[in-house]
Structure 1
Amino acid sequence: MPGVPDPMAPYGVDPVTGQPLSDKTKLVAGLLQIFLGGFGVGRFYTGHTKIAVLQIVVTICTLGFGALWGFIDGIIIIANGGTDAEGRVLR
C-alpha cells in the first residue's frame, strides 16, 4: 500500500530492483575507502570484515603500496554503489 512504511525496508527500496536499501550510504563508504582504505575502514563500515582484514594484510605486506586497492575500491563504491554485508543496496 502506498504511504505505509515497510518494516522490512525502513530506509526504502531500490526503485530499480525493489530490494531494501541499507542504512549505510555509498558516499560515506567510498570516502572512508579513499582516505583510509589501506586499513579497510570503508569495508568495516559496510560490514565486509573479511575484505577489510585482507586489505590491511595486503597493505602491510606490500609496505603501503596495497593501499592503492582501497583508493580504487572507494572510487568504485562512489561511482557504482555496492552492498552492505546483508546484501542490501547502499543508499
Structure 2
Amino acid sequence: MEQAPPAYQGQPYQQPSAQPPYQQQYRQPAYGQPYSEQKSKVAAGILGILLGGLGIHNFYLGYTKKALIQLLVSVLSVGFLAWAMAIWGLVEGILILVGNEGFRTDARGIPLKD
C-alpha cells in the first residue's frame, strides 16, 4: 500500500516581482508617455510679472491658448492694448507666487514646486 506524500509545512511559494526592488522605487513613466517634471512656482511668477503681457508664463505652464490670446492681443493691437495684457500678466504672476487655488498646478495638473 502506497502512502501519500507528507504535507508541506513551510511558507507558500510567492511569485517574484516583475522588477527588481531597486527599480520599483524609481519608476519610469509608461512607454509612450512623456516625462514631465514639476514646474517652478517662482519662475512662473517672475515670468508673469516681467513678461506677462506677452503670455510667457502661460507658455511655460502649458496654457497655450491663454498665452496665444495674450501674445496676439499685445502684438496685433500695435501696443494699444499691451497695457491691459501687462496688468493681466502682473496679476497672474502675483497669484502664482502667492499660491492661489487656481494657480497651484500647471496645464497637466502637476503641482508647482516651490
Q: TM-score, normalising length from structure 1? A: 0.70
Structure (1 or 2) with the larger CA radius of gyration = 2
**2:33 aligns to what?**
none
Structure 2 CA distance, aligned partners of 1:31 and 1:42? Answer: 8
Q: How do 1:1-91 and structure 2 match up within 5 A?
A: 4-5=25-26, 7=28, 22-60=37-75, 61=77, 63=80, 64-65=82-83, 66-80=85-99, 81-91=103-113
Larger relative contact order (CA 8 Å, sep ≥ 6): 1
Q: Can you list the C-alpha shifts for 1:53-78, whole angstroms capped at 9, x where unaligned?
A: 12223434472222100011000001
Other structure's SS at 1:50 match: helix
What secondary structure does 2:111 align onto? Answer: coil
Q: Distance in 1 between matches of 2:104 and 2:27?
A: 22
| CA-based RMSD | 2.5
Partner amino acid, structure 1, of 2:67:
A
| Consecutive aligned runs of 4 or more in structure 1 exceeding 6 Å deviation | none
* Uncovered stretches (5+) of structure 2, i.e. residues with no partner: 1-24, 30-36
Which SS does the other structure have where 1:38 is aligned?
Answer: helix
TM-score by length of 2: 0.57
Task: State the percentage of identical aligned residues.
Answer: 39
